[in-house]
Structure 1
């Protein structure tokens, strides 16, 4: 579900990823939310795209900086006009 080579390194990349989700640009169905989380095995941070049953439908690794500083963007969405 998570591509190991696809890491969101900056807040700009996080914003672009969230915008793509918000506008349906990734072609995902049944998206109900996103969350920042950590992997239970190794503590590595990632962003989770969740469906209406809170099941992971897509995940992307994020840098520690994005995990620590991108929480408000994940909570409130991007500021881009759709």
Structure 2
């Protein structure tokens, strides 16, 4: 499921989203990973939360800037807040 009303447009918002996923705050069952991807039909970039069968559990649209610059953040995970 992708929420069309929520677009992540800063790296700080992406990091906060990753912390929510990692912390279990979104109530997702079987969340196994997070990836930056593009929508097959229109090429729009998104961050995708995937289950252990690589099926989409939750997605949020991201800006092109976040897509290009957030790859390391998604790969390494969000930093723990101090």
What TM-score comes out, normalization by structure 2 length? 0.95
- Tell me the residue number matched to 1:55: 55
Deviation beyond 2 Å, 4+ runs, structure 1 = none
Give aligned pairs, total: 82
Unaligned runs of 5+ in 1: none
- Tell me the residue number matched to 2:12: 12
What TM-score comes out, normalization by structure 1 length? 0.95
Unaligned runs of 5+ in 2: none
C-alpha distance in 2 between matches for 1:30 and 1:41: 26
Task: Note the aligned Cα RMSD (angstroms).
Answer: 1.2
